[in-house]
Amino acid sequence: MRSAVAEGGHGVVEAARGSGLLPPGGPVVVLLSGGPDSVCLTDVAARLAGARSVTALHIDHGLRPGEADTAICVEVCAVIGVELEVRTLDANSARGNIQGWARENRYAIAAEMATELGATIAAGHTASDQAETVLYRLAAAPGRRALLGMTPRSGKLVRPLLGVERASTVEYCLSRGFITADDPSNSSPAFARNRVRAGLVGALKEIHPAAEANVVATAEILRDEAAVLDELVDGLIDGTAPNRSIPLARLREQPPALRRLTVQRLADEAAGRLAPGVARRADDIAKLSDQGVAMLDVPGGVRAVVERGVLRFIPRAPLGS
């Protein structure tokens, strides 16, 4: 996404068009909550991809009383002329983090629909969400992943509004005459992300009005640089994922940063998911003996194994198994 953060409702459509994520005629499932971001995205998707290509998905998570959000989604989709699918979940079945539970179920349902329709899944994440994500992750954990933010495309999931500020989606909806839902939980200090939004982002904007846009631009630059680093790492590793490896001698020859990136990549592939914290053990891994067999349990549920001087990672068996 190569554009300045769009300001004002008039720039929203062009920013989404410039993302290339909503091609004409491309089937897309839009996640529609009823809030300004998702309502804006649904209308923009209909204008760019065509209304017949758009299916809006609204999930009633059972977290708030009443059917006002659903009614708004029904009205919006009727005005825009797109199909609406409404699903209901039982919040009483939620375990652990309630927001995580809602998000996991929302994307699982969307993925099922997208597979049936041969469609992508579009989420209404904005530049404002991107800035909050970067700052939240940076506060929660060290490492470059925190600074990379959300990608415009991740598998079937696309984010056409990452070049648009939240204020612009509100302005867009007002200009188009849409009524949108207001979720009180988005301003509740009970959630860490909301505290970032209200406190940290607000404080940064007081220092400089372009603070939010600058955070977003920095994440974009770092994603470009990360792609170059990923190519360097690929050039060091032998084999095919998830069974890739690297000679320990070759790993030891690399600068510290490349050693960290290499062991993290191998560990992530072995785990089949992110294995956070492995990079911090890069020096310990590099010191393993290259004679015979050496092993080291590291974070992320994986084990570093050196056999005949070659390093690989394997998943650790769960405790008690």
CA distance 8 to 11: 6
- The ranges of the chain annotated as CATH 3.30.465.60 are 237-315
Read off the pLDDT of each residue in 302-319 and give the average, rounded to a whole number: 92
Share of the chain above pLDDT 70, in %: 88
Query: pLDDT digits over 175-203, tens only?
Result: 999 999 986 666 666 667 778 877 888 89
Percent of the chain with pLDDT over 90: 73
Backbone angles phi, psi at 99, to 5 degrees: -70, -40
Q: In the chain, where does the domain assigned CATH 3.40.50.620 lie?
A: 9-218
Question: For residue 91, what pLDDT is reported?
Answer: 66
Over residues 157-169, mean pLDDT? 95
Say if residue 2's pLDDT is above 60: no
The pLDDT of 131-135, averaged and rounded, is 93
Tell me which architecture the domain covering 9-218 has in CATH. Answer: 3-Layer(aba) Sandwich (3.40)
- Is residue 128 within 8 Å of residue 51, measured between CB atoms? no
Per-residue pLDDT, 144? 81
pLDDT of residue 89: 83
CA dist 127 and 2 (Å) reads 13
Distance CA 151, CA 161 (A): 11
Q: Is the peptide bond before 242 cis (omega within 30 degrees of 0)?
A: yes
Q: Which two tokens stand for residue 76?
A: 């919006």
Contact 3, 161 (CB under 8 A): no
Better pLDDT: 65 or 111: 111
208-237: per-residue pLDDT in tens?
999 999 999 999 999 999 999 999 999 999
Rounded to the nearest integer, the mean pLDDT of the chain is 90
3-state class percentages of the chain: helix first, strand second, coil last, to nearest 5: 55, 15, 30
**Separation CA 228–CA 232 (nearest Å):** 7
Per-residue pLDDT of 74-106, as tens digits, reads 999 999 999 999 998 876 666 766 777 778 889
State the Cα–Cα distance between residues 162 and 168, nearest whole angstrom: 12
62 pLDDT higher than 90: no
pLDDT digits (tens, 9 = 90+) for 27-59: 999 999 999 999 999 999 999 999 999 999 999
| Fold of the domain built from segment(s) 237-315 | 3.30.465
304 falls in which pLDDT band (50, 70, 90)? very high
